[in-house]
Amino acid sequence: MTVCCGPLLAALSACLAATSCTGVQSALAPSGYHAGRIAALFWWMTGVGVAVWIFVVALALYYARTANGEQNRRRDGWLIVGGGVAFPTITLTILLVYGLAMIPETVARAPEGSLQVAVTGEQWWWRVRYLTAEGEQAVLANEIRLPVGEPVQFRLDSDNVIHSFWVPSLGGKMDMIPGRVTWLTLRPEVTGIFRGACAEYCGTSHGLMSFYVQVMEKAAFDEWLAHQARPARLPADAEAARGAGLFLSNGCSACHTVRGTPAAGVIGPDLTHVGGRLSIGAGIMDTRPGQLRDWLARTGHIKPGVHMPAFGMLPDADLQALAAYLDGLE
Ligand code: CUA
C-alpha cells in the first residue's frame, strides 16, 4: 500500500505546498463564504475519490497475489454486485446529492438592499459600476473593492463576446453573455487583496484580462466609495497640468472619462481615479509613473490586440507629463 499511495500523497503535498493552492488567486485558499463551500465540495470529492482508488487498488493487489486458479463463484458474485454496482451507486449518489444541494445557496441572490456592483466584460478589461437605486454611484475599471462580511450582488454582462467573471478566493465563476444579464453573489469573509481573472477564452489578450478585489473594513470601504464618486482632483504641479492639457489635445478624452474635466469618452476605462488603483491594463502593470509611461508608449506590445493606440510617437517629455497627470489622479 505504501508503494502505491506514495506518489499520490507526494502529489497532494506538492500541490498544497505549491503557490497554485495558496495565494491571492486560489480556489483552495477560500476567503469568502461561497469559495469555502466550493472548496469543501472539492475536498470531499477528492477525499472520497482517493479512498475508492486505494480500496480498488488494494483489492486488485490482494487478488493478484492470492489467485491460484480456483474460483469461488459465490464470493466473486458478491464482489461484482457489491463492489461493482452497489458501492459506486451509493457513493456517487451521496456525492451527487451533496453537490446538487449546494447549488441553490451558491446561486441565490443577495438580500434586498445589498451592495450592487455591475461588471461589464470588455476586450480586454472590466468596466465596474457601483449602483444605487437611483443609478450609478461610481465608475471605475479593473478593480473592485468590497466591505468584509457583507453579501454583494454582482450584475454581469458583456456587449462583445462571452467572458467569465471569476475571483477564485471568493466564489464561483459566472459567464458574462452578450444580450443577457447574469448574477453572482459573493460574501468575502477576510480582508485582503485577491486576484480575479477572465475564465472564458475571449480573444487575443484573454490571458491579460485580470483584476484585483480588495476586501476592506466597512468604514474604510465607505470612505473609498465616497472618494470614487467624487470628480478628479486638480493637477498638483506644472508637469501634471501640462499632462492634463496633452490628455485633451491628443484625443485621449474621446475614449476616456475624467470626471470634472471635459474628458467624457466611454469607450475605454474611466480614469477619474486611475492613479489610486492597484493596477493598469487590467491587472497586468502597477500604477507607478514609469509603468504608466511605458503603457502609453507601447500598448499594443504589452497587450496584443488592445483597442487603445500606442502613443510612442509623442516626445518622451510629453509621455512623462501624461504619466504624471494620470498618476496624480488618485
Ligand atoms: Cu475575457 Cu477571456
Q: pLDDT digits over 119-157, tens only?
A: 999 999 999 999 988 888 899 999 999 999 999 999 999
3-state secondary structure of 267: coil
- Torsion angle, alpha carbons of 254, 256, 258, 260, to 10: 40
The pLDDT of residue 13 is 57
Instruction: Report how far residue 133's alpha carbon sits from residue 221's, in angstroms, rounded to the nearest whole number.
Output: 19
Domains of the chain are 25-217 (2.60.40.420), 238-327 (2.60.40.420)
Predicted TM-score (pTM) of this structure: 0.86
Instruction: Report how far residue 310's alpha carbon sits from residue 294's, in angstroms, rounded to the nearest whole number.
Output: 10
The pLDDT of residue 26 is 87
CA neighbor of 295 nearest in space, from 320, 258, 277: 320
Instruction: Report how far residue 154's alpha carbon sits from residue 113's, in angstroms, rounded to the nearest whole number.
Output: 13
State pLDDT tens for residues 151-208. Answer: 999 999 999 999 999 999 999 999 999 999 999 999 999 999 999 999 999 999 999 9
Instruction: Report how far residue 29's alpha carbon sits from residue 171's, in angstroms, rounded to the nearest whole number.
Output: 11
Cα 150 off chain centre by: 18
Minimum CA distance residue for ligand 1 atom 1:
163
> What grid cell was written down for 208?
491579460
The pLDDT of residue 14 is 58
What's at 296, amino acid-wise? L
Within 6 A (CB) of ligand 1 lie 121, 124, 163, 198, 200-202, 206, 209
The pLDDT of residue 2 is 41
The pLDDT of residue 70 is 61
In this prediction, the residues of the chain whose per-residue pLDDT falls under 70 are: 1-21, 67-71
Tell me the sheet residues that pair with 216. 147
**For ligand 1, what atom is nearest to the CA of residue 206?**
2
**For ligand 1, what atom is nearest to the CA of residue 176?**
1
Instruction: Report how far residue 163's alpha carbon sits from residue 178's, in angstroms, rounded to the nearest whole number.
Output: 9
